[in-house]
Structure 1
Amino acid sequence: MEIKPEILEKIRERQVSVEQYSSPQATRNADAVRRKTDPARPEEPVIRPPFYRDADRILHSKAYTRYIDKTQVFYLIDNDHITHRVLHVQLVSKIARTIGRALGLNEDLIEAIALGHDIGHVPFGHKGEEFLNEICVREGIGVFKHNLQSIQSLDVIEDLDLTLQTLDGVLCHDGERFVRRLRPTGSLDAATLTSKREQIRRGADDPPVLPSTMEGCVVRAADVIAYLGRDLQDAIEVGLIDEDDEELLAICRDSLGIEDYQTINWTVIDTLIKDLINESFGEAEIAFSRDAAEGVTRMQEFSIDRIYQNPRLTAQQEKIRTMFVTLFDHFSGDLAEGKADSPIATEFLDASWVSRTYLEHARDGEKVRDFIAGMTDRYFAETFQVVTIPERVRGTYRRA
């Protein structure tokens, strides 16, 4: 069924009106760039503009579905009230769109970048990323970084044909490296995106490689806002820190002017969003004030010391490292032996959603890396058990 032409015209007029009131710094839908067009998937920019379509493609991807059981910070703990990766990306999207709306930026582009930015995270969060990176370096297939893997998943493995602006924002989101002032790098084409990927892959990203758009800069800042407050709230929930921790309260009070500590996550988010809007409105960059930036830096240092490196959180990490090495070596062996019934074949390489181009060009080590990186925490643990624990036969071999 087609939408009536007169309705389409009214929708088009409304979109034109919205863009007239947008910031001069906003990315226009007309500037969206894809490297190819698929005749089987014609675009209708009136109903679904290009960046809106990007968000839909990410939302319906297999990689996005697997967000549901991927660690944010806290792993190997049964608590239904802590944040998983699927909630984190939604929080980033909400925070970033709040900022983007106030600044008159393209909310569709913001949402697409936010939903896709952590697709490349592996089981067991940043610790898992550290262990998989060690293996990839050992195997000579390059460094492993989750932002690079996000592009690998969205642009290569599933080949969603996202716009360059969305891919650029995902690639350059690196919220772990806090930057007070984020100024877009400007013009973007396929060669520029490739160059940025190579810079990050070589570790030549000091100073950090920044997004090309204001929207990408907003998501990078929103990523920091989202995890700072939420990680603290989760740490209180699981008992790693107390809600009346004197050091934490001093940071909130002295740097952010926060006096209400009962809802620390909401208060941190609200304070930093308003600060970012005040500093960035009408400017060609996204920036925090000096006081807020000091608060963010101090809270990051607090979180590293008291949460991320807390011995109660890291006690199992050597076992997890062993699991990564075991699975990587096992599936490398399966590929070398051509085992068609191996899970890497039946549940990954033979899947209809995996790009044929990827299968033709990826080396075996890269295929193993991508299979493991895409696993959820639960599937990773179950697969390790299958690989390492002998299967018992019950009663008789006749039914085996």
Structure 2
Amino acid sequence: MDLYPEILAEIRDRQAAVEQTHSPHATRNAEAVRKKASPKRPEEPVIRPPFYRDNDRILHSRAYTRYIDKTQVFFLIDNDHITHRVLHVQLVSKIGRTIGRALGLNEDLIEAIALGHDIGHTPFGHKGEACLDAICRREGIGAFRHNLQSVRFLDVIEDLDLTLQTLDGILCHDGERFVRRLAPAEPITAPAFAAKCERIGSGAEEPVLPSTMEGCVVRAADVIGYLGRDLQDAIEVGLIDRDDEDLAAICRKTLGTDDERAINWTVIDTLIKDLVNESFGKGEIAFSEAAAEGVKKMQQFSIDRIYNNPRLTSQQEKIERMFSTLFDHFSADLEEGKTGSLIYTDYLDSTWVSGDYLDTAGEGDKVRDFIAGMTDRYFFETFQAITLPERVKGTYRRE
């Protein structure tokens, strides 16, 4: 069904008026580029502009659905009040859109990048990523990086045909590497994007920067989104004491508060306002020197007291063995053509997996992608299923 002409005209006029209020540094909807133009997916920019359409495609993907049981920081702990990956991406989206609205940027593009940016995370978060990276290097299939894996899930495996601007922002989000000032890199083209993917897949350590202001915003919003929330969660699970003197000193100097109940929202409020003040009307996204120094101190505190805390890392060797066991098991199943294996029934035989991917991906790639896409629960249950013998209840007689 088509819109009535008079309604269509009024919506177009409204959209044109909104775009006139955008910053000259914003990405325009007319600049959206897809690698292919599919006649089955005609663009309808009136109700759903191109980056808005990217949002819908990500939200309806299988990879997005699996966010629901993906670790943010804390795994193997039962607590319903800590952050999981699905909440983190929503926080990043909200923070990013708040910044984008203040700076006059394209909020639809910011939201699409934010919602997709962590889809490539493995079970057990960054600890799981380190395990899978070591295996991939051992197997000669390149480095494993969750940002590149996000692109694989969305652009290759499910073949959502997202815009290059959205894919570029997802690929370059890398909030773990804090940069005080971010200016867009070279304009995004298909060859430039492919070159970025190649650099990341080769394990290169130099930073790969976004090509849009919106991508720069999400990279900054990612830092803001996890910085205070990880501290709040660490207090919730008892990894940090409420009256920790070191944390209180950092918060007083950086945020003007030592109230642990206010750490997260004070981080968000303080850093958003600082970033807007430093970035307004400019072609870059930047924090002030004072805020950047505070961010670095809070990051280092989190590394020392949370991420590398022995209580959080004590299970690492077991998790490494679990990853190796699953990788070797499913590699053998592929080699032997065991079509009843979970890698076939739950992954490769699924209707949502692209035929081009099935035709071109190597066996190691398929195993890597299957494991990377697992939720924490599915990973754990799969490991149990392939390593523990099944008990029979009462009788071998089965119908």
Map of 1:272-287 to 2, 5 A cutoff?
272-287=271-286
Any stretches of 5+ residues in structure 1 without a counterpart?
A: none
- Is the contact between residue 307 and residue 313 of structure 1 (CA under 8 Å) also seen in structure 2? yes
Shift of 1:77: 0.3
Map of 1:202-351 to 2, 5 A cutoff?
202-206=202-206, 208-258=207-257, 260-351=259-350
Shift of 1:39: 1.2
**CA root-mean-square deviation:** 1.0
Match of 2:48 in 1: 48
- Is the contact between residue 256 and residue 291 of structure 1 (CA under 8 Å) also seen in structure 2? no
Q: What is the rounded CA distance, in whole Å, between the counterparts of 2:280 and 2:269 in structure 1?
A: 16
Call closer, same or farther: CA 1:296–1:192 in 2, change over 3 Å. Answer: same
Q: What is the rounded CA distance, in whole Å, between the counterparts of 1:265 and 1:252 in structure 2?
A: 10
The one-letter code of the counterpart of 1:271 is T
Deviations 1:323-346 (A, max 9, x none): 000000000010011001000000
- Is the contact between residue 25 and residue 214 of structure 1 (CA under 8 Å) also seen in structure 2? yes
The one-letter code of the counterpart of 2:334 is L
Shift of 1:397: 1.8
Q: What is the rounded CA distance, in whole Å, between the counterparts of 1:101 and 1:52 in structure 2?
A: 15
- Is the contact between residue 211 and residue 217 of structure 1 (CA under 8 Å) also seen in structure 2? yes
Match of 1:384 in 2: 383
The one-letter code of the counterpart of 1:357 is D
Shift of 1:2: 2.0
Q: What is the rounded CA distance, in whole Å, between the counterparts of 2:391 and 2:325 in structure 1?
A: 21
Match of 2:46, SS state, is: coil
The one-letter code of the counterpart of 2:228 is G
Match of 1:87 in 2: 87
The one-letter code of the counterpart of 1:51 is F
- Is the contact between residue 255 and residue 266 of structure 2 (CA under 8 Å) also seen in structure 1? no
Note if 1:114 corresponds to 2:114: yes
Deviations 1:279-324 (A, max 9, x none): 0000110000000000000000000000001111111111111100
Q: What is the rounded CA distance, in whole Å, between the counterparts of 2:106 and 2:287 in structure 1?
A: 20
Q: What is the rounded CA distance, in whole Å, between the counterparts of 1:259 and 1:83 in structure 2?
A: 22
Q: What is the rounded CA distance, in whole Å, between the counterparts of 1:310 and 1:202 in structure 2?
A: 30
Q: What is the rounded CA distance, in whole Å, between the counterparts of 1:317 and 1:2 in structure 2?
A: 56
Any stretches of 5+ residues in structure 2 without a counterpart?
A: none
Q: What is the rounded CA distance, in whole Å, between the counterparts of 1:325 and 1:43 in structure 2?
A: 44
TM-score (norm 1): 0.98
Q: What is the rounded CA distance, in whole Å, between the counterparts of 1:365 and 1:83 in structure 2?
A: 32
Q: How many aligned residue pairs are there?
A: 399
Shift of 1:137: 0.5
- Is the contact between residue 32 and residue 163 of structure 1 (CA under 8 Å) also seen in structure 2? yes
- Is the contact between residue 27 and residue 106 of structure 1 (CA under 8 Å) also seen in structure 2? yes
Shift of 1:393: 1.8
Q: What is the rounded CA distance, in whole Å, between the counterparts of 2:290 and 2:257 in structure 1?
A: 12
Shift of 1:259: 5.1
Judge which range, 38-47 or 154-163, deviates more: 38-47
Match of 1:399, SS state, is: coil
Match of 2:22 in 1: 22
Match of 1:58 in 2: 58
Match of 1:134 in 2: 134
Judge which range, 244-253 or 48-57, deviates more: 244-253
- Is the contact between residue 121 and residue 146 of structure 1 (CA under 8 Å) also seen in structure 2? yes
Match of 1:366, SS state, is: helix
- Is the contact between residue 260 and residue 267 of structure 1 (CA under 8 Å) also seen in structure 2? no
The one-letter code of the counterpart of 1:380 is F
Shift of 1:256: 3.3
Match of 2:377, SS state, is: helix
- Is the contact between residue 142 and residue 203 of structure 2 (CA under 8 Å) also seen in structure 1? no
Match of 2:114, SS state, is: helix
- Is the contact between residue 164 and residue 190 of structure 2 (CA under 8 Å) also seen in structure 1? yes
Shift of 1:237: 0.4
Match of 1:144, SS state, is: coil
Q: What is the rounded CA distance, in whole Å, between the counterparts of 1:8 and 1:288 in structure 2?
A: 41
Match of 2:68, SS state, is: helix
Shift of 1:202: 2.4
The one-letter code of the counterpart of 1:146 is H
Shift of 1:260: 4.5
- Is the contact between residue 228 and residue 267 of structure 2 (CA under 8 Å) also seen in structure 1? yes
Q: What is the rounded CA distance, in whole Å, between the counterparts of 2:331 and 2:198 in structure 1?
A: 26
- Is the contact between residue 72 and residue 85 of structure 2 (CA under 8 Å) also seen in structure 1? yes
Q: What is the rounded CA distance, in whole Å, between the counterparts of 1:330 and 1:261 in structure 2?
A: 45
- Is the contact between residue 249 and residue 258 of structure 2 (CA under 8 Å) also seen in structure 1? no
Match of 1:266, SS state, is: helix
Match of 1:177 in 2: 177
Shift of 1:367: 0.3
Q: What is the rounded CA distance, in whole Å, between the counterparts of 2:190 and 2:255 in structure 1?
A: 40
The one-letter code of the counterpart of 1:263 is A
Map of 1:151-170 to 2, 5 A cutoff?
151-170=151-170
**Identity rate of aligned residues, in percent?**
76
Deviations 1:223-270 (A, max 9, x none): 000000000000000000022211111111123333544311001110
- Is the contact between residue 58 and residue 112 of structure 1 (CA under 8 Å) also seen in structure 2? yes
Deviations 1:4-46 (A, max 9, x none): 1111111110110011010000000000000111111211100
Deviations 1:195-221 (A, max 9, x none): 111122223342x11100000000000
Match of 1:360, SS state, is: helix
Shift of 1:186: 3.5
